[in-house]
Structure 1
Amino acid sequence: MSGLKVVALISGGKDSFFSILHCIANGHDVVALANLHPPLKHGKEAVEDLDSYMYQTVGHAVIPLYEQALGLPLYRQGIVGAALNQDKSYGPATGLADADEDETESLIPLLRKVKAAHPEVNAVSTGAIMSDYQRTRVESVALRLGLTPLSYLWQWPSLPPRTQASLLEDMAGVGQDSRIIKVASGGLDESFLWQNVADRRTVARLTKAAQRFGSSTDGAVLGEGGEYETLAVDGPGPLWKASIVLEEDHRRVVRGEAGSVALHLREPRLIPKSKSEEDTAAPRIPPLLDPVFADMLGRLRTGATESQDTSDPLPAESTHFDMAASMYTDGVARLLSGRTGDGQTVAAQMQSIMESLTTDTSNLLPHAGLASIIYTTIILRNMADFAAINPIYGSYFTSPNPPARVTIACANVLPDGCDVMVGVTCLYSPSLYGAAERHALHVQSRSYWAPANIGPYSQAVTLPISSGTEAGHIVYIAGQIPLVPASMALASSGIGLVSHDHALQTVLALQHLCRIGEAMSVRRWIAAVAFVTHSSSDSTPTLPQMARRAWLALFNSEPETHNEADEAEDFDVWNITHRAGHGALQAQGTEPNGPPAFTKHDPPPMWVVRVDALPRGASIEWVGYGTTKDDIPSSEIRHLHYFLNVFRQRIL
């Protein structure tokens, strides 16, 4: 796969520069740097430290030197406006009347300037690690400009070896030198200023501070809540052509509000590197599989796992859910199943279906309309028709966090003359339209974590189990196929054995399901469906057997500790910190040992269903349902009933 041409957004901080190294390690070509600086004061002098929710501005006077230090053209633009839209997720549809005055929109003229000078640019790199607030804003702008967002550091603390310190250790491993230039937390003081954040002693001190005032799981060690800010002054060759030096008498301590302390920097200078200094190691790339799933893969390939069929079906009375009824309402959920449309083409039928939902006069959808939909399934007669229906579907979901979605092709389950059928589950109870009751995850950046969802569907969306919040939420997760997250290519063992490819794809797609479940605070799995495309003669053991073995192995792995603090759903340190102002770290819990994060219990029911085709030519797609608190039976998932009835003749 050919590499992308990347413009790297830089703030001066450690993460944006380390992300550049990972862009290069993944075969991309970084052709330009871009930076937003504070507005000019009195026409010529910029504000030293703008209180921005989005952009780091302290130390901005050093930014111009990066052009020479890295040998890359630098483009800059002043920040205009303020954080008018303070929602966790961002998109044009969520903006206010004067959306252009939101500080996020300052990225648009900056990136347009870069594209004008470098028409080949087709991707943008950012250093986002845990903040949905920052990531979704960059994604919104990038995708509107036709740029692929790259966030290779996203969810780094949840990747092997699953410690926050690992990111700082990896920075030290390649020789990146980033100095702390501001502290804004009760756990940090002036003594941290100008320390290399990746130095072993500094990492130990940051970890100790997090244990006292925060936790090693909430991003405090990495400064994700604004606890501190950094300035990169050196790094590995051949990226860094020179080091940035600031003499001690050119670093002045400035005390700010709420106990914050920063350095005012002046007269920085460059020291060119010698050729010998350019020979450095590439950054460590996290392994594709967590240890639990790597062990699972080995067991599948060797056949060590018992071939136990875990497809415990629903009770007979539950599987006879009335398919003739196109609507089923139960508490807070409403299912509209088997929706078909008029027209001679698949595009016309899809348009008809969406219009019928939008202009419904029978009150099938509640008054919130399409915004109430949390989960959709699309069944096509031919997967080749996906390109025709996807833009139509997407045009009806323009707000951030569209419904989670499953797409499959299976001709013989569709009525005659029907090329596409849609089922939706929506939030029905009129009292539950508040954003607090609908949590979603929509990551559109490439990373090492899980596949990016570029387009009109979220990785997961939740639905309240009941009208009270104590019972928790059901988590509906989008269908997961075995894409390598960093490249978005279909996973392959590379050794030409079908059975090995099937084993890798089975495990990788299941890991995606679990990582998304962990991010959505899933504590118990309710049920799963593995859609497969290959016949039983394709490999030994068969793909259906592999899917069942993998599901069983997931619940037979070693138990993990459970972090009670993680039960706070919709938790975003950056967003919470800035909404409340710069404050001290908040006490949290302890760090879990590793995946999977759900509470161990007996394997829930799972089914294997053979279909004609899956997206991207995948051989398996995992569909899963979880709960954030209480255990509930799979019979409560009405959309699962719908699936089982549609595919009742194709369950293996």
Structure 2
Amino acid sequence: MAADDPLNVVALVSGGKDSFYSILHCLANGHRVIALANLHPPPPRVASTSTRATVRSGDEDGSRAEVDNAINDLAAIRISPSDITVAQHQHGSLLGLRADNNSQDDDEIDLNSFMYQTVGHQVIPLYAQATGLPLFRRAILGTAVDSGISYKHPDGHQEEDETESLVPLLHAVLKAHPEVNALCTGAILSTYQRTRVESVALRLGLIPLAFLWQFPDLPLSSAAATTSTFSTSTLQPADTDDAQLLRDMAAAGLVARIVKVASAGLGEEFLWENVASDTGISRIRRALRRFGGDGGRGAVLGEGGEFETLVVDGPPVLFKGRIVIRDDDKRVVREGGGSAWLNVREAQVEMKLGTDITSKTEDQNVRIPNLLDPKFKDALDLLHSKSLGYEHCTISLHEIGQQPSPLSLKLTNSISQDWYFVGRPGNIEAQTAQIVDEVRQQLHEYSLPTTAITNTIIVLRRMSDFPTVNRLYGALFREPNPPARVTISCGDLLTPQGADISILLTVQPRMKQGDRRGLHVQSRSYWAPANIGPYSQAITYPLLTIDEDKNRDNDVNSNLPLAVSIAGQIPLVPASMSLPSVPPDGDDNLRLQVTLALQHLWRVGAEMQVQWWSSAVAYFPRSPSTPHAKHCALLAASAWKAAHAVPSSASSDAEEGPDLWDRKYNPLYMTYGGGNDVGAAKPGLPDWEVLKDFDADDYSEGGLSQRALPFVFSAEVEELPRAAGVEWHAHLGFANVGFGDVRLYSSHGSDKDQRTAMHSVVVESPSGDVFVQTVAAYQDSDAAGSGIGVRGTQHMLRVVGQILQTSDRSQLGFIEVNPKLTYINSESFDLLGETESLQGKGAIIPCRSLWDSEARKLDMVVILESRWGRKADGS
């Protein structure tokens, strides 16, 4: 099945607004909704019995048998649209047109589940009749055993987590509807909820869909700005209106009533308010602001558990009838602590007649965000102009900050190591298995878990081998958030000749528990491409390690800068996971791909709070001609310049830090509370104020900001994943960096040797430690272009040695260290058959051509990294 083929979807519904609005987006994207699925509170006999006994071996005081009998009674049930009277099972009436509330306990069930909304569960069966879709239901069993932000599948020896209740429910759906191949959820900002649904979906072979993920931060479409049903006096700019999603729901025709409040700002007088209305939005915003601001990011949407909703009506493309609940059939249940909810005693479906049910999907007012943010739309426009590329200025060491003195620093035991593996002769399966075994052995030798790996670069001879490699490589990683990854194919240039794969791992051997955070979104959305498989969008870890022999202040430790490894970004349309198909013109399509992939890099970076990049490379597949390769390099350089021209206004929280939903609704993270950082806007990307001696006047349009950028270059390789036209690879991102703690240096290697340009970024921490990355771009005027012919391995090694020696003599106090990455232009260096000389010289990436930002051909690009600390005497 092609990536953009229509999917057959089962939609998880809780009764809340988000799940139903997500269904409307499934329909708007051309997918078919086959069934609804819901988890509800168990009957009192099960709810009052220890659920721990359900997964323990043996019989503990007879409780195992009792619970097993109850579970058998609670098998998933199917409610057809024609079942309008009652849905029966052994425990009596769930609900038809009237709820059976003979049991006082059952009358007031609200599990306060970390995962599922349960208020209003009595009304859920009526959605089958209201929508005309079959509804599958099952009881929630277990509790939140795994309270981590990212979910780890239980291994059978753990107590059952409530998340696993989804598995038998979806098994029932798949048995009745084997054509179902996707699962839809309404996750907006909560990593806790999204990762759990993704875990279950992928285990069952279902494609997870979360069209609302990060939706509040995505750009308004031009149509949405002109079709709002609300008065212009209440509208705010799209990038500041945190209630825009509620307005979108109202414009689409959803009616969502508040059925629970759990916030000091929202009292029980808000119960039954329609949140998808101008009046409801205004009331909620005013109430939250009376109690300490607006409650943080997502509070107006109820993402922090401030309120829960029940959808009673929607557009006719989904709702063939509306749910009617009389005032006399709603009873307020007060839980204390500011929490109150509505218990529904009776409800009915009022079917729509006539024109109400003739609406088509394409007639619905469901806002789909623009593919490009305004910033990257401007970048795309720039790529259509005749002026492409930009010049790297040569900056003296004192123009941007002062040179750190090597005399006051010492080379530290780096927190980072690079492990390089090359396949030995054999088929691709054997070579990959060999490398995986070697990785396991080396991890065992150093007593390290796989989570110590933060980044991977995989170089293949044939991109067609990628599925095989992915399967075997993926077996390494069983924990949530596997390392970020970059994959390219170098064709017959890969060395040695018998190797079909090489892998570079970046490993953090001194990283402590809790230091590592990841971003692994596996659902389709409008935000950025899903990473379905053994790689994350990004991994964050400490850039500089604390010397355990020194007594450093904890406040200093918490302010240390972070390194962010980001996966290679190709230009997939996030909602369909397919490459852009329009415009049809090849060059226009390439411009769009360059811009879209760079936007993905920016969105992932912004989500991880990246403030500055160290350097970046744009990989392009094999070009039909040298002029075309040069043109690609100019497109990449121009897009890079445009992305840095205006700081981003992104204001989302870090993915793996406890999000607002978790802080307010998940007891494990309530200790984070509502501190000053909740909902606080984060720095833009780029954050110019991290630069040493930053002066806003100097960084005006046309000034230094247009030139003093992270170094970027282009590499022509053989092929990219999915036959993409470009892949952006940022070598490193920096987060949690203080004002003025980044310095840039750009110069030639020496007065006598003008062939090597050195571009360095230096990051200092409050502890006095220093991180340095230098990109050495080498251009030999006597190389192949002059007719002398290609050079061999020994010449390449001499060049690398000269670069190391130059850096040692001049600018940043390097000693001889092996390069992290060496990009080689195969037109200048022939490395085939000379692999012995390359052992221990870091990862070699052979390219068909290399280009700087002015589309000048390069012979070599070397990436060097080192970390420095203050001397023991404190000098």
Do they superpose with TM above 0.5? yes
- 1:285 matched to 2:344? The reply is no
Tell whether 2:561 aligns with 1:472: yes
- CA 1:368–1:424: 2 relative to 1, 3 Å: same
Match of 1:415 in 2: 496
In the TM superposition, what are the counterparts of 1:163-202 in structure 2 within 5 Å? 163-202=241-280
Residue 3 of structure 1 deviates from its aligned partner by 0.5
C-alpha distance after superposition, 1:571-606 (max 9, x if no partner): 312222212588985555777599757447642111
1:251 aligns with 2:335: no
What SS does structure 1 have at the residue aligned with 2:504? strand
Larger Rg: 2
1:504 counterpart (592, 600, 620) = 592
* Residues 191, 655 of structure 2: 8 Å contact kept: no
Q: Which moved more, 1:203-212 or 1:269-278?
A: 203-212
Matches within 5 A, 1:142-153: 142-153=201-212
Residues 572 and 348 of structure 1, relative CA distance in 2, 3 Å threshold: same
Q: Which amino acid aligns with 1:613?
A: E
Contact 1:227/1:585, CA 8 A, preserved across alignment: no
Partner Cα separation in structure 2 for residue 487 and residue 538 of structure 1: 33
How far apart are residue 205 of structure 1 and its match?
Answer: 2.6
Cα 1:118–1:355, aligned 2, differ >3 Å: closer, same or farther? same
Q: Deviations over 1:62-85 (max 9, x none)?
A: 000000000000000000010011
Q: How does 1:517-556 map to 2 (within 5 A)?
A: 517-535=605-623, 542-556=631-645
Deviations 1:183-205 (A, max 9, x none): 10112112211011111121123
Matches within 5 A, 1:39-58: 39-42=42-45, 44=91, 46=106, 48-58=109-119
Which of the residues 465, 485, 489 maps onto 2:578?
489
**1:581-596 map, 5 Å:** 587-588=676-677, 596=685
> 1:319 maps to what in 2?
none
Amino acid at match of 1:629: N
Q: For residues 7 and 362 of structure 1, do their structure 2 counterparts lie closer, same or farther at Cα, with a shift above 3 Å needed?
A: closer
TM-score, normalised via structure 2 length: 0.68
Unmatched 5+ stretches in structure 1: 316-327
Distance in 2, matches of 1:566 and 1:142, equals: 25
| Structure-2 residue corresponding to 1:322 | none
Do the aligned partners of residues 310 and 221 (structure 1) sit closer, same or farther apart at CA in structure 2, a change above 3 Å counting?
farther
1:193-592 equivalences in 2 (<5 Å): 193-211=271-289, 212-213=291-292, 215=294, 218-278=297-357, 279=359, 281-303=364-386, 305-310=387-392, 330-337=413-420, 339-360=421-442, 363=445, 366-411=446-491, 412-429=493-510, 432-434=511-513, 436-467=514-545, 468-492=557-581, 494-535=582-623, 542-557=631-646, 559-560=647-648, 566=653, 570-577=657-664, 578-579=666-667, 587-588=676-677
Displacement of 1:610 in angstroms is 0.8
How far off its partner does 1:219 sit?
1.4
Matched, 1:613 2:719: yes
Q: Report the CA distance shift for 1:79/1:401 in structure 2 as closer, same or farther (over 3 A).
A: same
Q: Compare 452-461 and 155-164 and name the one that shifted more.
A: 155-164
2-structure distance, mates of 1:640, 1:478: 21
Aligned residues: 628
Counterparts of 1:438 and 1:118 in 2: how far apart (Å)?
Answer: 40
Residue of structure 2 aligned with 1:157, choices 190, 209, 216: 216
1:139 matched to which residue of 2? 198
Q: Distance in 1 between matches of 2:283 and 2:519?
A: 33
CA distance in 1, matches of 2:318, 2:376: 34
User: Amino acid of the residue matched to residue 636 of structure 1?
Assistant: Q
Distance 1:502 1:566, change over 3 A: same
User: d(CA) in 2 for partners of 1:16 and 1:112?
Assistant: 20
Contact 2:418 2:820 in 1 (8 A): no
Residue deviations 1:78-118, cap 9 Å, x none? Answer: 0001001101001226x67234x110000000000000000
- Report what 2:133 is aligned to: 72
Say if 1:258 and 1:582, in contact at 8 Å, map to a contact too: no
Distance 1:519 1:342 in 2: 39
- The separation in 1 between residues aligned to 2:217 and 2:381, in whole angstroms, is 22
Kept after mapping to 1: 8 A contact 2:463/2:488: yes
CA RMSD of aligned residues (A): 2.8
Deviations 1:216-259 (A, max 9, x none): 75211111111110000000012100000111111111111321
Amino acid at match of 2:259: I
CA distance in 2, matches of 1:125, 1:417: 45
* Residues 509 and 621 in structure 1, CA contact (< 8 A), matched pair in contact too: yes
SS of aligned partner of 1:254? strand
User: In the alignment, is the contact (CA less than 8 A) between 1:518 and 1:598 conserved in 2?
Assistant: no
Shift of 1:312: 8.8
Question: How many angstroms does 1:215 deviate by?
Answer: 4.4
Distance 1:122 1:648, change over 3 A: closer
Give the 3-state SS of the residue equivalent to 1:360 in structure 2.
helix
One-letter amino acid matched to 1:179? R
SS at match of 1:495: coil
Q: Deviations over 1:516-539 (max 9, x none)?
A: 011111122221111111435675
Q: Which residue of structure 2 aligns with residue 11 of structure 1?
A: 14
SS class of match (1:113): helix
Structure 2 vs 1, CA of residues 254 and 270 (structure 1 numbering), >3 Å: closer, same or farther? same
Task: Name the SS for the 1:256 alignment partner.
Answer: strand
Q: Does 2:703 align with 1:622?
A: no
Paired AA for residue 572 in structure 2: L
Distance 2:207 2:166 in 1: 15
Distance 1:512 1:330, change over 3 A: farther
Is the CA contact 2:644–2:686 (under 8 Å) kept in the aligned structure 1?
Answer: no
2:184 aligns with 125
Match of residue 28 from structure 1: 31
